[in-house]
Chain A
């Protein structure tokens, strides 16, 4: 009887060769915890390897084919910006209001109660501008657009549309991935700015309704004084990085691996989980940058 370890060894070269984690996922469940741990580790390594390669390929295609087929690609990019940005504005208006009322407004009144309104600016910049704004935007776009990406691309892959593109001499990464990467990156960047502005404004409105003794001039002056050039630069970099990697993770799971139609739903769940993990890891990297600088 073949042991689990030998079956894994047998499939290992194939899995690395294809960058295909499905080989492991479809294998029989391991019987011991150490085998399970090993399997999870291999899967994590394969995923990192696959995502890294896919990100580099996509970056290469973006740079190399920037001017290729512009008449086809520009409308596609506009469509993706609309889908990952403009179409989400009403939802983000609501989220900004909620964030302002729930977090900013309460923080302002709490600080006012203890006479610590001097710390308002730096608190708002750390909580809203640096952390909550970008991360919340990224997670919401991942949920709304990222899942749709995996399902669309996974279905296209399972129905053979990718091979059809290749047969027509159209690079699937250029045609399917590049517009999504640009759309999601610019979408998250713009939505984060709207979310931050909306949350700060609605937060003040909430505080004003609670009769907190703070004029709008003082409030926005404090925030403006707490911001420095690094906040603007890192906010732009962070949101674009969130967008790039969310698009890469969701497109990778939808497109880069051979799928069957029945795999699409489970792959969508996995992509969202990995998308959240990637966002949190990126956020940690940016926290380190803030701390160092």
Chain B
């Protein structure tokens, strides 16, 4: 007789209505049923304004679903408070625009979460920050403020800031948006390394969820895919299912951009 082992989901949404930050009464996605298991790499694709960022913010516990439930590491996000801070810090979120603190330099931005959460001085976190900046090739920009950085370096600095607390679940909002070919070629293998087990995490694999508005760059047999369309969340599964899908929304996300065709 075979035994089935129960693996608790990292993120579990049941019949969740996803709202927006601007209007918490408006549902941009309805009846979302989604389960992210440890060690999975999900790519959630959708057109702009389809609710990708809101879905990630809900998964990070920053937005509450208007209806239904969202559990992160088994903890209901409705109950996320001071007592659940440890659970919240297991989740790292990288915003689409980076959302760095403009008053701080890159090195201060990256150090802030660690300094605040562990009450450490700048000198005490210097080594960790240095390693992380080196890893993300940000050392030459360490003393610049975000407004003096190109978009690609801003998003890398935001990634560094999310990684400093060593999260077990990393949520990335459209990480490839606005990146050039070289940056894409650097980022995708780096995310893959994080997912498989990077030295920063002591070789431990982490769970990743990334959103995208173009699925082609994310092609990978081990990744899982979902599509947002007309307020619906549809989990497709592996890449083969994406290719086999006949839905117009999926085809659009796989199509050549108009600029490339012209």
Binding site for B on A (CB under 8 A): 14, 18, 68-72, 152, 156, 159-161, 163-164, 166-170, 175, 258
Q: Are A72 and B116 in contact (CB under 8 A)?
A: yes
Bound-state CA distance A258–B102 (Å) is 19
Q: Are A167 and B60 in contact (CB under 8 A)?
A: yes
22 A-B pairs within 8 Å (CB atoms) are namely A68-B119, A69-B115, A69-B116, A70-B119, A71-B115, A72-B112, A159-B97, A161-B101, A161-B102, A163-B95, A166-B62, A167-B60, A167-B91, A167-B92, A168-B161, A168-B162, A169-B89, A169-B113, A169-B116, A169-B165, A170-B117, A258-B22
Bound-state CA distance A160–B162 (Å) is 15
Bound-state CA distance A200–B162 (Å) is 55
Bound-state CA distance A159–B146 (Å) is 12
Is B93 interfacial (CB 8 A cutoff)?
A: yes
Is B224 interfacial (CB 8 A cutoff)?
A: no
Q: Are B116 and A258 in contact (CB under 8 A)?
A: no
Is B242 interfacial (CB 8 A cutoff)?
A: no
Q: Are A168 and B116 in contact (CB under 8 A)?
A: yes
Given A159-B102, A160-B97; A169-B62 close (CB under 8 Å): no
Q: Are B117 and A69 in contact (CB under 8 A)?
A: yes
A160, A163, A167 — most chain B CB neighbours (10 Å): A167
- 13 more contacts with CB within 8 A, not counting A18-B24, A161-B101, A161-B102, are A69-B115, A69-B116, A71-B119, A71-B120, A152-B103, A159-B97, A163-B21, A163-B99, A167-B93, A168-B112, A168-B161, A170-B112, A170-B117
Bound-state CA distance A91–B119 (Å) is 36
Which residue of chain B has the shortest Cβ distance to A163 in the bound complex? Answer: B62
Is B209 interfacial (CB 8 A cutoff)?
A: no
B97, B112, B161 — most chain A CB neighbours (10 Å): B112
Given A71-B121, A167-B60, A258-B22; A161-B116 close (CB under 8 Å): no
Interface SS of B by simple majority: loop
Which residue of chain A has the shortest Cβ distance to B171 in the bound complex? Answer: A167
Of the four ranges (under 10, 10 to 19, 20 to 34, 35 or more), the interface on chain B belongs to 20 to 34
Is B13 interfacial (CB 8 A cutoff)?
A: no
Contacts of A71 in B (CB 8 A): 115, 119-121
Given A70-B119, A170-B116; A164-B95 close (CB under 8 Å): yes
Contacts of B24 in A (CB 8 A): 18
Interface residues of B in 120-159 (CB under 8 A from A): 120-121
**Contact string against A for B residues 80-105, beta-carbon threshold 8 Å, 1 for contact and 0 otherwise:** 00000100110111010101111100
Bound-state CA distance A115–B121 (Å) is 63
Bound-state CA distance A152–B91 (Å) is 28
Bound-state CA distance A68–B95 (Å) is 26
Q: Are A168 and B113 in contact (CB under 8 A)?
A: yes
Contacts of B115 in A (CB 8 A): 69, 71-72
Is B183 interfacial (CB 8 A cutoff)?
A: no
Contacts of B165 in A (CB 8 A): 168-169
Is B193 interfacial (CB 8 A cutoff)?
A: no
Contacts of A166 in B (CB 8 A): 62
Bound-state CA distance A170–B24 (Å) is 22
Contacts of B92 in A (CB 8 A): 167
- Min CB distance A20 to B, Å, is 10
- Min CB distance B56 to A, Å, is 10
Contacts of B103 in A (CB 8 A): 152
Which residue of chain B has the shortest Cβ distance to A18 in the bound complex? Answer: B24
Which residue of chain A has the shortest Cβ distance to B125 in the bound complex? Answer: A71
Q: Are A170 and B22 in contact (CB under 8 A)?
A: no
Contacts of A156 in B (CB 8 A): 101-102
Contacts of A175 in B (CB 8 A): 116
- Min CB distance A57 to B, Å, is 13
Given A18-B24, A258-B22; A164-B57 close (CB under 8 Å): no
Bound-state CA distance A15–B162 (Å) is 34
Q: Are A170 and B99 in contact (CB under 8 A)?
A: no
**Contact string against A for B residues 225-255, beta-carbon threshold 8 Å, 1 for contact and 0 otherwise:** 0000000000000000000000000000000
Q: Are B100 and A164 in contact (CB under 8 A)?
A: yes
Contacts of A168 in B (CB 8 A): 112-113, 116-117, 161-162, 165
Which residue of chain A has the shortest Cβ distance to B25 in the bound complex? Answer: A14
Bound-state CA distance A75–B113 (Å) is 15
Bound-state CA distance A71–B103 (Å) is 18
Bound-state CA distance A289–B122 (Å) is 47
Which residue of chain B has the shortest Cβ distance to A152 in the bound complex? Answer: B103
Q: Are A159 and B99 in contact (CB under 8 A)?
A: yes
A68, A159, A168 — most chain B CB neighbours (10 Å): A168
Q: Are B95 and A160 in contact (CB under 8 A)?
A: yes
- Chain A to chain B: the 9 pairs with minimum beta-carbon distance, closest first: A164-B99, A167-B93, A168-B113, A160-B99, A69-B116, A72-B116, A169-B89, A71-B121, A72-B115
Contacts of B101 in A (CB 8 A): 156, 161, 164
Choose from A69, A160, A164 the contact partner of B119 (Cβ within 8 Å).
A69
Contacts of A170 in B (CB 8 A): 112-113, 116-117
Bound-state CA distance A258–B26 (Å) is 15
Contacts of B162 in A (CB 8 A): 167-168
